[in-house]
Each structure stands twice: as C-alpha cells, then as structure tokens.
Structure 1
Amino acid sequence: MKYLMLLCCLWTIQQATAATYYVDAINGNDAATGLSDKQAWKSLSRVNAQVFRAGDQLLFRAGRIYEGQLKVQGSGATGMPILIDKYGEGYKPRLQGNGVMPATVHINNVEYWEIRNLDISNNGPERQSSRNGILVQARDVGTMHHIWLSGLDIHDVNGSLLKAGGAGAGIMVQCGGRNVKSRFDGLVIEKCTIRNTHRNGITFAGYWSRQDWFPSLRVIIRDNLLEGVPGDGIVPIGCDSALITRNVIRDCPRLLPDGEAAAGIWPWSCDNTIIEYNEVSDHKAPWDGQGFDSDWNCRNTLIQYNYSHDNEGGFLLVCDDGSQKMPTSAGNTGTVVRYNISINDGSRKTGKHAGFSPVIHLPGPARNTQIYNNMIIVPQREKGIDSSIIAFDNWNGYPDSTLFANNIFYALTPVDYQAAKSTRIYYENNLYFGKHDNAIKDPRAVNADPMFQSLVLGGNPGFEVLKGLKLRPVSAAARKGRPLVKEPAKDFFGNKVMPVKPPDIGVHQF
C-alpha cells in the first residue's frame, strides 16, 4: 500500500511540474520562456536545446514554416508521454529539412513520445542516400517504449533510388548498437500520409540475423496512405508480432532503375507478422513489384483480407534465400495467405524483366506455405505479358510443402502453372474458370463459372467496389471447399467461417 501511495505521489508531482512550450516561427523569440503563446520560442535550434520531461507538451504554431532539423531530448514516462502537436489555425506546422540533415525529425534514444499533426519534408538540391523525413533510432540503449507517430504529412524526400546506396524513406526506424542490443516496444505509426518519398515509404533496420535476434515488439502500422512512393512501401524488419493494417499504397511511379527490386508490404526477418485489410496497387518496380510478400527469415506470416490490384509484378511473393542458413536465417516457414482478392496483377511489359510477372511467385526453399480461399482475377492480356498464374522457382533451392486450396482462379485469358523442381505441391478444392494450361492435379477441382453478383476488373480502387464479387446462391463454389480453419474465422466480407464445416470456395461465405 505504501508503495502504491508513493507512486501516486510521484505521478502527482510529475503532473504538477509538466510544462507546455510554444513555438512560433514568425512571432516567436528564442530568448523568451516558451511557456505561453505570447512567450513562444522561434526556432528549431532552441527547441533542440531543451531537455523535456514526462508530461511536457511542445506545440508548434499552425500556418508557419520551420526550417532545419527537430532533434528532441528527454523522455516521458509510463502514462505521461511527451506530446508534440500544433496550436492555432491554419495548415499543419511545416518542418522543412531542405536536405541539410539526414532527417528532418530525428528521434534518437528517447522514449514515451507522441508526435502529431506536423507537415514534414526533406527535399535537397539533389538526391542523397539515407535521406529521410523522420528517423527513429534506438542504439546502445536497450528497449525504448511508446513512440507514436500520428496524423503526420510526410512528403518530398529525395533520397537515393538505389537500395544498396542507402536509399531514402518517409519514415526510417533503426535499431542497433555494438554494446547494448536495442529495440522498440510499442511503436505506432498511424493516420499519416506519405507522398513522393524516395526511395521508400516506411522501412526498418534492425537485428535481422537469428544469432543476434532482439526483435522490436508491439509494432503497429495502421491507417496510413502512401502515394508516389516508387520503392518499398511498408517493410518491418526484425520485429515479432507486428500488425500492418488498413493502409493504402497507390500510384507508385516508374522511377527505379533496372535491377532494383521492391514491393508493397512485406516483412523481412520477422516472426508472427499480421498483414490485413490493406490495399496495394500500381506497383511498377523493375523486379518483384508485387503487392504483398512474405520474405526470407520470416516465420508464421499471416496475409489476410487484403486487396491487391494492378501491380505489374504480381499479387504475392513468398520467397526464401536457400544460401542463408541457421544460425543466420530461419528460412521462410508457415506463411498463410487467405481471403485476399487480386485483380489484374502481374502485367509487367517494360524493362529488363519484361515478360516475367507471375501473379503468385514462390522462389527458394520456403516451407509449409498455405494459400487458401483467395480470389485471383486475370483479365484479358496483351501479347508479351507473363501468362503464369502461379510460378515456383529456384533461389538456391525450391519450395517444399505448399498447399493451394479453396481458391477461385478466374481467367479471361489463357493462364498456366509452373512447378519447376518444387516438391509436395498440393492443389485441392479450387475453382477454375477459363483456359488453364499445364494442367495440375486437383482431384476435387470445380470447373465452372463462380457466378459473381458482378465482375470487377482492374482500375477499381477501394474495398467498396469488391462487394460485386460476392457469389450468387446458385454458385458452384458453395460448400465445395476443404475445411482448413482451426477456430472460428471470417471471410473477406466479415461472414463467419466455422471449423470442420466445408466452406465455400473463394472469399465469400454464404
């Protein structure tokens, strides 16, 4: 009881000593106290000199432009984060890095910060590697808690277009250090817009090797809009149980040089990642270029309830570099891809890899992959576009134990299937419509029109248009699936799917 009373007293004291600081780039004065809007500071350099305490607030006057870098000092505490936000009327406070520093906002070795409602750019006179809008770092410091980035508009970051050259990103999260392993616990990126950030959108760097495994925890990336990002959209690295949900990635420009690989949303060196309710479209990377990917050194990735369309590289990549073994890599095992819709994915016809863009690509010795209850719609194709709907491939080995079940493969152009030297591929209870070459063995196949309420083809954004893909009651897909869920689940539209009971084929359960 005495201990609880002491904690309450300390919390009350902290609240009483917490301060609110104001910054106004036009009417402020760095010699002022900063403790009222009439005594506001003027510059980011004055803000950077302040060591903030738990419960403090830092408010930037809206309708102003602040040039330079914001690099915060001090940490909050449990239940008392330090808040950055705006005050006054007008556009969001605009922080312009102008390419002078590697990041316009640098969050380094601090915790319990919430940063909201800022406009951030970092556009220099020419491209530069490792240039970011926001850089969040934990190095030689241990586990850092509660970093929230919310409602930020991050745009015009002209980093390098080359991944090996350091690239650039809207938001870069880095964990590392030689002496003390460091990571984040409770990192949230939400409701942000990321536009024209080159090369990437939201990316991580961390302890990817299994012999140095120290994953970040409770990472959530949700409700963000990424536009005009030519490279990798959202890439958690070195995380356990990250949640990537309700994000939109679209209008990816054709800027990457030949040889560069990128994709929409994909974990690398992560365990138990959940990727759901996202929409990815218009990816044009010269290599890969899929909407979604479960990459090597990942275990138990779950990709569900997503909408992928008009991605030139395809819908899905599940890959593993067979040259990487333990203790470095755990391979790629246990990926589950279910209740997703892919429309007009896999249409690459330009660049070095023109003519190669299977809708689903599985290179390397990935193991125990389950791809079930998805819907793949392939519209009419021009000549020269890859006709493969599924292609297994070599990457220092071939996949083993891959299940395709209860999927609808709807093709308005001839499609084929490439198994290469992969082992134990199982096709079960899928529905095939159209001309499917390289016939595969599917003992319970349904060859029929699935009877959509209305057909949806490429170029249609937004989940709302997908309601037309619900099945009519007379569909041949009804109750023809193989039971695969082990506990009650739901289909793409939120209907219940029960264990044991044969489900409908595809993404819609009556």
Structure 2
Amino acid sequence: MITSRTSVLRVAVGLTAGLLTALLPLSSADAAGTATLHVDCAASVPGDGSVGRPFNSLAAVNATRLQPGQSLLFRRGSRCVGTLAPSGQGLAGAPIRIGAYGSGSRPTIDGAGAPDAVLLRNTEWIEVRDLEVTNAAAPGTNRRGVHVELENYGQGRHYVLQNLDVHDIWGDDTKSTSGSDGILFSVIGDQRPSNFDDIKVIGNTVSGVNRGGIRLVVSQWEQRAEVGGAAPYTKPWTANTNIVVSGNDVRDIGGDGIVVLTARDALVANNRIDGFQRRSAGYNAGLWPWNSDGTTFRHNEVSGGETTRDGMAFDVDQGTDGTTFEYNYSHDNAGGFLLLCNASGRVANAVVRYNVSQNDSFRGVEMCSGPLESAHVHNNTIFVGSGRSMTVINETTTAPHQVRFDNNIVLKQGTGTATMRLQPGTAVRTSYNLLTGVGGTFDNPGGSTADPRLVAPGTATSIHDLAGYHLGPDSPARSAGLVIPGNSPYDIFGRRVPTEQPPSIGAAER
C-alpha cells in the first residue's frame, strides 16, 4: 500500500495522474458561440455535421477546415474506416477539440492498414480525447496509430492526447520520423526549424503495437555535438519543450515502451509498461531518453521486458544531460534493471535513485562501449529471488566511466547467482552498499555483506504495494549510508531523507 506520506509527496510535486487529469477536463465544452460538428460513419446519408445530419465519412471530415474553438465529435459506438486527417488550427484559449458524443463505447477510427489512423499534421492548439484507434490490416507494413507531425512549420503549441485506446497497430520494425508506433510525434523538413511546445499524453491505453508504444519527439532537427555521430540528420538541435507523459498503460509492445527524444525537461510519470521487446529484431528498452536534457522519469512501473538484446526497464542513452530516474518500480525484466549507454556522444549528470528492482535478470547496471562523463546510481534496492541470476554491475569495456554506485541494497536469495563484473582499476566506484549474496571481487568501503533485514522482500505486486521493502527495525541499513550532496529530500515512500547526517542505505529511509 501507499503510505500517506507517499501521497503527500506526489501531491507536492504535482505528478499524480489524477491531478494532471483534473487540469485537463474530459468534457468537450465549447467556447461561447462556436459550432460543434458531429460524425456518425454509420449514418446512411451524408450530412452537414449537425447533430441531426452528421457527417458520415472521414473524407467529409478531412475536407472541412476546423476553426479555433470548434469541436469535432464522433458518435459513440460508431466506426470510421480510413485516416482521420483534420485540417485547421486552434488558438490560445480556443483549441480545436476532437472527441465523442452520445453513450456507449468509444468511437473507433480504423486505419485499415493506412500509414496513419489519425494524422495531425502542421496544426496546433488541438486536443484529442475518448477515441479508440486501431490499424491492424496488412500487418508488417509501416504504420502508426496516432501521428502528430510538423514539417517546416516553426513552433507548434499545445497538443493533448487523452483517454485514447490505441491498439493493434501491427507495423514493421522501423523507428524513425515515419517509424511504426502506437503514438508518434515527429518533426520533418529541412527549410524551417520546427519543434513542439506543450505536449500532454495522458491516461491513454496503448497495446498490441509493433514497433514502439509511445515515441516523442523524433526530429530531423536533432544534430549537436552531444549526440556524436549517431544522429542521422544534420539540421541543428531544436528542443521540444513542456512535454508530460503521464498515467498511460502500455502493454504488449514489439519494441520500446516509452521513449523521449530531442527534448528539454520532459516529465514521464505514473505510467505502467508491461511487456516490451517482444517481437523486434533490434535493441529496445522500457523507458529511455535520447538526445535530450533534463528528462525526469518517476513513479513508473516497468515489467515484462523480453530478451537480453537490451530488454531492461530503464536506459540513460546517448546525447543526454541531467536524466533522472527516481521512485520507479522495475520487475521481471529479462534484460535487467538499468543501461547506461553511450558510444560516441555524451552522457552526463545522470541520477538513478530510490528505485526498487524485483526479480529482474541478467544485469543490474550495464555500460555500453563509450565513455560516461558522470552518472550516480544510489539508494536503490535490488532484490534477486530464487531462480534468477544477475550481474549486478556489468562493466564490459575499459572506456572511462565516471560512475558511482553508492548506498544501494542488493539482496540475492535462493538458487541462481548475483555477481560483480568490474574491470581491473575500474572507473566505477562503489561504496556504502549492502551487497548480500553477491559474488565477485569488488571494493565497497563503508558497506558490508550483512543481511539488510527487509520486511518482506520479493512480495511486491505493483508499485502501489512495495511495503516489503521497508527496513526492519534492526536493519543494518538504517542511517548507515553516505551523505549525497544534492540528494532527493524523499525516499520511495515519501519519507524525509536527512541532508546533514547519514541517510539509510537502499530505497527506503525506514
């Protein structure tokens, strides 16, 4: 269960899906005097969009230029086949709203194998809610569920995707500005720098997708020194800003779960990912940023990563500065807990703290081939139960890694092994960890191999049920850690973390 202090923490930082939903009402209330257009693709005759004579095809909708403040509503229980590609733009205070009317199930937009089921192109101040979106025909061809695209547009502002059910998007195995994803934001064109500002992807269900679940923003305006030679496009980096991805349920994904790209200060919070890297021949992880600065991932639950071709819950990837993973729960991922990955670019100021990993396999923390400028993995609790094995730190390269691993609990129980694989003279520094049942050669000043005496390790059933990872009253982890400058003021349960005296080791202060 979540303690009351956890609730206080989430309200304090303003991250609960409920709070964000409250800020984004689901109603389709219009500005005074604006028209509402209605669509019922089951209607026998074409109409003018009035409630009594609704449009009866996507062709009629797409031929109508929507005006600021206007609402476009689809009849609940109806099904439209083809691509919804509305034209027109909203304005500040008068967005275009696309949603549903009537009673019953969500109205369905079925792409029927088209490249996009919903395409929002070169528009802004637009909100889409309460639709079912599918695109299952002709599987294996390139396609998306919802695609938001700017081309030589400049800055596009205010995009809301909320309460959508995006499913059965059976695309190919590509990821790009036109890759196959459930929800994709992309920027193309080489004449005018373009970017998104104010994106909210909230409370959606994305399931049965090849390749990616939610990917934003794939941009041709991405090149900078920090990303090295990995960026395929040459236009200068133009950041996408004010991005919130919260409260989404992402399941049964062929490749990546949720990816943030070419962004500044994005927030990814309160999402559930279950089942990813299921069908892709490439490398995919649950949650990760690329070529982005200041990305924060918190209060997410990630499980069911398949294969060791990545397949881990979290990844701090190339071209990133100031990435934070905190208060997340990772479990039952075949590829493990965390990847710190750079080849020829830069990874700097990464922080991974106050997370719980339960029964992840293969690796705890792994590094890619290139150097890591700075990363601090601290105050996490990693439990490896019977029948699971993990290389807790898998340092397979001699490239310089300025990585610290402090104040972590690693507890191995039952059959299987937990080991350290560190290079001689390793740049990975470990201290003040409780490493119980962990083999291999490692230095761990200030730490020990004592039993951390967790209350009930291995018993968590969700991110809302982590009580087994509290420290018992006689735990040697209590108040035994290293003081971390700039540490979070809270642990994973919302308890205060001391700043002037030793904190506890692990994700729980008590």
User: Aligning the two structures, in what range does the TM-score lie when normalised by the shorter sequence?
Assistant: 0.7 to 0.9
Alignment pair present for 1:77 and 2:94: no
Asked whether the equivalents of residues 334 and 368 of structure 1 are also in contact (C-alpha less than 8 Å), the reply is yes
Asked whether the equivalents of residues 301 and 335 of structure 1 are also in contact (C-alpha less than 8 Å), the reply is yes
Alignment pair present for 1:345 and 2:367: no
Aligned partner of residue 77 in structure 1, secondary structure: coil
Instruction: Specify whether residues 247 and 26 from structure 1 end up closer, same or farther in structure 2 by C-alpha distance, changes over 3 A only.
Output: same
TM-superposed CA distance for 1:25, in Å, is: 1.4
Instruction: Specify whether residues 28 and 20 from structure 1 end up closer, same or farther in structure 2 by C-alpha distance, changes over 3 A only.
Output: farther
User: Which residue of the other structure, out of 311, 318, 321, is the alignment partner of 1:289?
Assistant: 311
Letter in 2 for 1:269: N
Aligned partner of residue 363 in structure 2, secondary structure: coil
Aligned partner of residue 457 in structure 2, secondary structure: coil
User: Matches of 1:337 and 1:234 in 2, distance apart?
Assistant: 17
User: Matches of 2:502 and 2:44 in 1, distance apart?
Assistant: 68
Aligned match of 1:170: 182
User: Matches of 2:461 and 2:180 in 1, distance apart?
Assistant: 27
Alignment pair present for 1:380 and 2:386: yes
Aligned match of 2:403: 402
TM-superposed CA distance for 1:380, in Å, is: 2.3
User: Matches of 1:84 and 1:149 in 2, distance apart?
Assistant: 10
User: Which residue of the other structure, out of 123, 131, 141, is the alignment partner of 1:128?
Assistant: 141
TM-superposed CA distance for 1:120, in Å, is: 0.3
TM-superposed CA distance for 1:486, in Å, is: 2.3
Instruction: Specify whether residues 500 and 424 from structure 1 end up closer, same or farther in structure 2 by C-alpha distance, changes over 3 A only.
Output: farther
User: Matches of 2:456 and 2:183 in 1, distance apart?
Assistant: 39
Moved more, 159-168 or 242-251: 159-168
Instruction: Specify whether residues 312 and 488 from structure 1 end up closer, same or farther in structure 2 by C-alpha distance, changes over 3 A only.
Output: closer
User: Which residue of the other structure, out of 453, 456, 466, is the alignment partner of 1:454?
Assistant: 456
Identity %: 32
Letter in 2 for 1:119: E
TM-superposed CA distance for 1:213, in Å, is: 1.1
Alignment of 1:270-419 (within 5 A): 270-321=292-343, 324=344, 329=345, 331-346=346-361, 357-363=362-368, 364-381=370-387, 387-394=390-397, 398-412=399-413, 413-419=416-422
Asked whether the equivalents of residues 484 and 500 of structure 1 are also in contact (C-alpha less than 8 Å), the reply is no
Aligned partner of residue 313 in structure 1, secondary structure: coil
Moved more, 420-429 or 463-472: 420-429
Instruction: Specify whether residues 282 and 143 from structure 1 end up closer, same or farther in structure 2 by C-alpha distance, changes over 3 A only.
Output: same
TM-superposed CA distance for 1:146, in Å, is: 0.4
Alignment pair present for 1:237 and 2:226: no
TM-superposed CA distance for 1:20, in Å, is: 0.7
Alignment pair present for 1:18 and 2:34: yes
Letter in 2 for 1:237: L
Letter in 1 for 2:245: I
Asked whether the equivalents of residues 38 and 74 of structure 2 are also in contact (C-alpha less than 8 Å), the reply is yes
Asked whether the equivalents of residues 253 and 278 of structure 2 are also in contact (C-alpha less than 8 Å), the reply is no
User: Which residue of the other structure, out of 43, 63, 66, is the alignment partner of 1:27?
Assistant: 43
TM-superposed CA distance for 1:312, in Å, is: 0.4
1:441-481 Cα shifts (integer Å, max 9, x gaps): 11101321111111225xx5412331111111211111101
TM-superposed CA distance for 1:438, in Å, is: 2.0
User: Matches of 1:248 and 1:477 in 2, distance apart?
Assistant: 29
Aligned match of 1:3: none
User: Matches of 2:265 and 2:424 in 1, distance apart?
Assistant: 32
TM-superposed CA distance for 1:110, in Å, is: 0.3
TM-superposed CA distance for 1:376, in Å, is: 0.7
Aligned partner of residue 79 in structure 1, secondary structure: coil
Instruction: Specify whether residues 163 and 112 from structure 1 end up closer, same or farther in structure 2 by C-alpha distance, changes over 3 A only.
Output: closer
User: Matches of 1:167 and 1:59 in 2, distance apart?
Assistant: 28
User: Matches of 1:28 and 1:140 in 2, distance apart?
Assistant: 40
Asked whether the equivalents of residues 105 and 135 of structure 1 are also in contact (C-alpha less than 8 Å), the reply is yes
TM-superposed CA distance for 1:500, in Å, is: 2.0
Asked whether the equivalents of residues 392 and 422 of structure 1 are also in contact (C-alpha less than 8 Å), the reply is no
User: Matches of 1:193 and 1:422 in 2, distance apart?
Assistant: 47
Letter in 2 for 1:86: A
1:364-395 Cα shifts (integer Å, max 9, x gaps): 2112110000001111236xx5x41111133x
1:249-303 Cα shifts (integer Å, max 9, x gaps): 103373234xx21000000100000001101101114511110000011111000
Asked whether the equivalents of residues 328 and 463 of structure 2 are also in contact (C-alpha less than 8 Å), the reply is no
Q: Which runs of 5+ in 1 are unaligned?
A: 1-13, 347-356
Aligned match of 2:482: 482
Aligned match of 2:228: none
TM-score by length of 2: 0.88
Aligned partner of residue 266 in structure 1, secondary structure: strand
User: Which residue of the other structure, out of 408, 424, 427, is the alignment partner of 1:424?
Assistant: 427
Moved more, 360-369 or 295-304: 360-369
Aligned match of 1:111: 124
CA RMSD across the alignment: 1.9
Letter in 2 for 1:372: H
Aligned match of 2:275: 251
Asked whether the equivalents of residues 69 and 90 of structure 2 are also in contact (C-alpha less than 8 Å), the reply is yes
User: Matches of 1:178 and 1:427 in 2, distance apart?
Assistant: 46
Runs of 4+ in 1 over 6 A off after TM superposition: none
Moved more, 112-121 or 489-498: 489-498
Q: Which has the higher contact order (CA 8 A, sep 6+)?
A: 2
Instruction: Specify whether residues 376 and 34 from structure 1 end up closer, same or farther in structure 2 by C-alpha distance, changes over 3 A only.
Output: same
Moved more, 103-112 or 209-218: 209-218
User: Matches of 2:240 and 2:199 in 1, distance apart?
Assistant: 8
User: Matches of 2:493 and 2:468 in 1, distance apart?
Assistant: 11
Alignment pair present for 1:181 and 2:193: yes
Asked whether the equivalents of residues 277 and 285 of structure 2 are also in contact (C-alpha less than 8 Å), the reply is no
1:33-77 Cα shifts (integer Å, max 9, x gaps): 213x11211111111111111110111100011111100111111
Letter in 2 for 1:320: N
Letter in 1 for 2:207: R
